[in-house]
Amino acid sequence: MGFSRRKFLIGSSAVAGGLVVGCSLLPGRDTIAAYSATAKNGEVALNAWIKIDPTGVVTVAVPRAEMGQGIFTSLSQLIAEELEVDWGSIRAEQAPVDEIYVNSYMLKEGLSFTDGFHRGENTLGAKVMAKIAGILGIQATGGSTSIRDAWEPMRLAGAAGREMLITAAANKWGFPVSQCRAEKGHIIHVPSKQTLGYGELVGLAASLDVPSDPKLKPASEFKVIGKSMKRLDTAQKVNGQAVFGIDVEPEGLLYAAIKTCPVFGGSVKSYDQKAVLGMPGVKAVVPYPAGVAVVADSWWRAKKAIDSLPIEFDDGDNGGLNTDSIFKQFAQELETGDANTYMDVGEAEEFLAKQSDVLEATYKAPYLAHACMEPINCTAKVKDGKVEVWVANQAPTLVKWFAAKAADIDSENVTVHSPFLGGGFGRRIEVDMVIQAVTIANALPGTPIKMIWTREEDFQHDMYRPAALSRFKGTLDEKGNVAAWHNRIVSQAPTFSVMTRFAPAMAMDMSDNTTAQGSADTPYAFPHKHIEHVPVDLPVPVGFWRSVGHSYNAFFSESFMDEMAHKAKKDAYQFRRALLADRKDARDVLDRLAKEAEWDKPLGAGRAKGMALHESFGSIVGQVVEITLSDDKQLSVDRVVSVVDCGVVVNPDTVVAQIESGLIYGLTAAFYGEINIENGQVTQSNFSDYQMIRLSNAPVMETHLAPSGRHLGGVGEIATPPIAPAVTNAIFVAKGERIRELPLIKSGYEVG
């Protein structure tokens, strides 16, 4: 596995043509060119993360995508803390695309589940992964990594800036550095009480050498980190001024509406452009491999024309694909398929074979769509061998590479603009929309083209959360604890599917942690444990959907945990607790959860509580839900209590907001989420048949942050996994019905 992964990573860098230099932890001044180039109104860049203007306003380069998670704010807090600046003087902006902003953390999640990295250690494997990430140079947002990745470099950038400003002031005054300190955007000479503002010093400071070992503040002195600083993006999001991808308006803009072959892998056989070229405002009809675009002087005119365009599609080989046949294939693979093993403790299979009383259950999860509120769109302009792209994206480096490929130019000649994302959730790490928009724009050189998908196209051409089947076998010891636990999962492998799009030559049958995460890495200790996954190759494009494999594996594992507790005739809380003897952090979360949710206090008739505990992305979340359930399956999720240990908390209110957000995202899927395929195409088309939770059926949420002092964890995805099993475990308590398949509406539940 180690060999193939390495080969794939280095190979993909070669394929993508990106030979980049790895970065040291705190790069020198020669690495700030990209950010310096953005300076305006007298701003001076101190390093690749900080610009200061003559009035002392500090602008922070945020190298990660703001898709709602509050990253503009929390990453700016890291700088503000070390640089010693008032929050009111801080602005945030999207960083340019540059190797310096590589996300060196994302690949680490690919390390074996037994690697100490997953428990917060900086292992050799983690260092190697960071090195490889540095070579690849991919700037990307995903895997709940932003804070974990930025925690050192951005604080160091702030600290280096502070030290340079202190030195600049000391030099200017002729005082020793040791007599000067930084406070609220000023350097103070302590003995004489003289002060100089950062705006007055930044020019001088920028000419100094970057300190090689800037001193970070101890946590006990934090004034900004750990505080709910006001979000920097809120004001513009309440008055319509925030610019999302779909809002960009380069001069001379034309608009494109598209129709892609609804069958996966299909193509265009023929179309009759004469039928639409005379329609009002229509400028051009442009084919791309899987579909056709109409370009017009307004999007609505383009849309009307594409709806009128006679197109004959070639369905290719997949016209017979449907969800039933896929699940039949999964069932077969569950019996006979070759599996990758992700965790193997003791001898689970041998042990279970000798037991007479084995509990067995098979669970099922559907394909899901991301359904970002901002429909997929991209604006592109091709002119004189250069490409300019405006797109809400999670990976500007990939945007750059694939825009270059689509226009057949060198990636150095691509400029990427990254406005706000109207939701990402993993969908916008893909670049299909970039390839399409650049292909269309390439046919009309010099004219910027804004391509916008309809919501129907968005549902039909997502890269879906994989559907999955999962079978458990478990047995108890004489004390009623789990003695053996065996889980075999069948699904498509998202990383493989993503690779077929990004680097097809390198896509291979390889180990993929995302298929087993949430099962292989649960915090419970079982004497015998075996987790394996059978990868299935299908033409349905699958990808990374908020919390990825955790999104279904948590439902499977935490449901079966409840089944085992029931078999042991034990309380769900106590049963879990007994299996966490060597995990004080997880036990503490569980204990706090039981206390906050008053687990021992029964609810009235027709009401019940359910519990789930899940560790993902380096954090632990416990949830208790309270439901009301009628005899005719009217279900209301009334209240959700969450307890969260994500280690260091940078912005408590943002973390709470992400817990609320992740929880609603997971609950929406548990209630309604299902993408079906008939005749090779997705049957869902809009929010009318892919329903959403709304105000009327959103639960009351109570979130408790309970940092244990463990290592820094992720936040954006961690509340999504446990909510489904918490709800279905409550349904079992209320009615004795064990839900082994999602969504709940499929089992006849009415959810508001």
Report the residue from 41, 212, 220, 696 that binds other proteins according to the rule CB under 8 A: 696
Question: Which is nearer to other proteins, 197 or 722 (by Cβ)?
Answer: 722
Token readout for 193 is 């009480």
Instruction: Name residue 487's amino acid.
Output: N
Contact track, other proteins, 600-619, x by CB under 8 A: --------------------
Taking CB under 8 A as the rule, does residue 743 contact other proteins?
Answer: no
Site for other proteins in 374-403 (CB under 8 A): 374-375
H or E element, residue 304: helix 299-308
Report the residue from 372, 498, 589, 744 that binds other proteins according to the rule CB under 8 A: 372
Token readout for 546 is 């908020």
Report the residue from 341, 692, 746, 748 that binds other proteins according to the rule CB under 8 A: 692
CA angle 670, 676, 678 (to 5 degrees): 170
Question: Which is nearer to other proteins, 68 or 647 (by Cβ)?
Answer: 68
Taking CB under 8 A as the rule, does residue 693 contact other proteins?
Answer: yes
Compute the distance between CA of residue 149 and CA of residue 128 in angstroms, rounded to an integer.
Answer: 15
Taking CB under 8 A as the rule, does residue 257 contact other proteins?
Answer: no
DSSP label of 699: P
Alpha carbon distances (Å) from 145 to 20, 149, 461: 21, 6, 27
Count of CB atoms within 10 A of residue 119's CB?
A: 14
Taking CB under 8 A as the rule, does residue 421 contact other proteins?
Answer: yes
Taking CB under 8 A as the rule, does residue 423 contact other proteins?
Answer: yes
Taking CB under 8 A as the rule, does residue 505 contact other proteins?
Answer: no
Compute the distance between CA of residue 148 and CA of residue 143 in angstroms, rounded to an integer.
Answer: 10
Q: How many CA atoms lie within 13 A of 691 on its CB side?
A: 14
Site for other proteins in 511-530 (CB under 8 A): none
Pairing type for strands 254-260 and 449-452 reads parallel
Report the residue from 86, 115, 152, 233 that binds other proteins according to the rule CB under 8 A: 233
Residue with structure tokens 């489904």? Answer: 724
Site size for other proteins, by CB under 8 A?
A: 65
Taking CB under 8 A as the rule, does residue 420 contact other proteins?
Answer: yes
Taking CB under 8 A as the rule, does residue 88 contact other proteins?
Answer: no
DSSP characters over 707-734: --S------SSTTHHHHHHHHHHHHHHH
Q: How many helices (H) and strands (E) does the chain have?
A: 19, 27
Report the residue from 280, 310, 385, 445 that binds other proteins according to the rule CB under 8 A: 280
Question: Which is nearer to other proteins, 165 or 421 (by Cβ)?
Answer: 421
Contact track, other proteins, 640-659, x by CB under 8 A: -------------xx--x--
Alpha carbon distances (Å) from 351 to 484, 556, 734: 7, 22, 34
Taking CB under 8 A as the rule, does residue 252 contact other proteins?
Answer: no
Taking CB under 8 A as the rule, does residue 242 contact other proteins?
Answer: yes
Question: Which is nearer to other proteins, 90 or 506 (by Cβ)?
Answer: 90
Compute the distance between CA of residue 128 and CA of residue 130 in angstroms, rounded to an integer.
Answer: 5
Closest contact distance (angstroms) between CB of 444 and other proteins is: 18
The closest alpha carbon to 137, from 95, 104, 108, belongs to: 104
Closest contact distance (angstroms) between CB of 30 and other proteins is: 36
Question: Which is nearer to other proteins, 102 or 257 (by Cβ)?
Answer: 257
Site for other proteins in 317-356 (CB under 8 A): none
Contact track, other proteins, 445-464, x by CB under 8 A: -------x-xxx--------
Alpha carbon distances (Å) from 536 to 497, 598, 635, 744: 10, 43, 35, 26
Closest contact distance (angstroms) between CB of 680 and other proteins is: 24
Compute the distance between CA of residue 466 and CA of residue 727 in angstroms, rounded to an integer.
Answer: 21
CA angle 144, 147, 151 (to 5 degrees): 145
Which positions touch other proteins (CB under 8 A)?
A: 66-70, 230-231, 233-244, 246-247, 249, 255, 280, 298-301, 304, 371-375, 420-425, 452, 454-456, 653-654, 657, 660-665, 668, 686-688, 692-696, 698, 700-701
